[in-house]
Amino acid sequence: MRWLHSVDMRTKAERDTAICKAYEFGYAQADIARAFGLSSSRVGQILKAHAVSKRSDCIPALAWDGEPMRF
């Protein structure tokens, strides 16, 4: 999730879009929550509100390496 610093997030809507993109890229909800400073349940609520489909369990989640997120 190195792309986060290149995303201009001034509103919650922009943040939510970035969260949805990160999930679609394959990052786990827990890693997204950690990167955005949110709870995992809040990330789940955002994904549900934006109707982002659940990633297949057969596809392993990408691991966030803790580095600043840049695209």
**Tens of pLDDT along 50-65?**
998 766 666 666 666 6
Q: Is the pTM of this model over 0.85?
A: no
Cβ-contact 43, 55 below 8 angstroms: no
> Rounded to an integer, what distance in angstroms lies between the CA atom of residue 34 and that of residue 18?
14
Beta bridge partners of 70: 4
Instruction: Note whether 6 and 71 are within 8 A (CB).
Output: yes
Q: What's the pLDDT score for residue 8?
A: 63
Structure tokens at 54: 């659940």
